[in-house]
Amino acid sequence: TQGWGGIDIGLSECLTRTAPLFQVEAKDTEPLPNLAKSWDWSSDGLKLTMHLIEGAKWSDGAPFNADDVMFYWDDEVVDPNVSPLNGATPETFGVGTTLKKIDDYTVEWTFKEAFPRQYLYAMAYGTFCPGPSHILKPQHPKHSKNTYDQFK
């Protein structure tokens, strides 16, 4: 049984995961790693560098990497014409938050407030679960002749 998540929880993965939280010690205030295998805060807490898992592949064999994360952010979450099923908006991760690719397996979040650990929870199921950009990007209106209705 998939419990409350249904079959979709077995078909998508997100940057972090929040359950089962019994695996986290009470003193810890961050969720568990998932597609993001680890992360580091800058000394001022305004930047969060996420290290993504390496070696994961989509069902067609294409690698999962930072391009998938960036497509999800730039062309789904930030694009006001796209309404992700999970309802993620840029504000979900804090007003003024930005995300950039460092390399194929590293992304960097920049926040307006120091150490906003609550956003790590917003990166879990089902809010920040990127899809295969190599399949989705060619269908997106910014990268094709499709309309937003066709993309949806």
Encode the chain (152 residues) as per-residue pLDDT tens digits.
Answer: 445 555 555 567 889 988 666 666 656 567 889 999 999 999 999 999 999 999 999 999 999 999 999 999 999 999 989 876 666 888 899 999 999 999 999 999 999 999 998 899 889 877 888 999 999 999 999 999 999 999 88
State the pLDDT at residue 111: 97
Q: Is the Cβ–Cβ distance between 141 and 81 less than 8 Å?
A: yes
CB-based contact 147:141 (threshold 8 Å): yes
Check residue 30 and give its pLDDT. Answer: 76
Domains recognised in the chain with CATH numbers: 12-151 (3.90.76.10)
- What is the DSSP code (8-state) at residue 64? P
Do the beta carbons of residue 75 and residue 140 sit within 8 Å?
A: yes
Residues in the chain: 152
The pLDDT score that the predictor gives to residue 1 is 43
Residue 133 sits at the vertex; the CA angle it makes with 128 and 138, to the nearest 5 degrees, is: 135
Instruction: Supply the pLDDT for residue 70.
Output: 97
Burial 79-94 (b: 16+ CB within 10 A, else e): beebebebebebebbb
Q: pTM, whole model, 2 decimals?
A: 0.87
Name the nearest CA neighbour of 128 among 38, 8, 14, 6.
14
The pLDDT of residue 32: 84
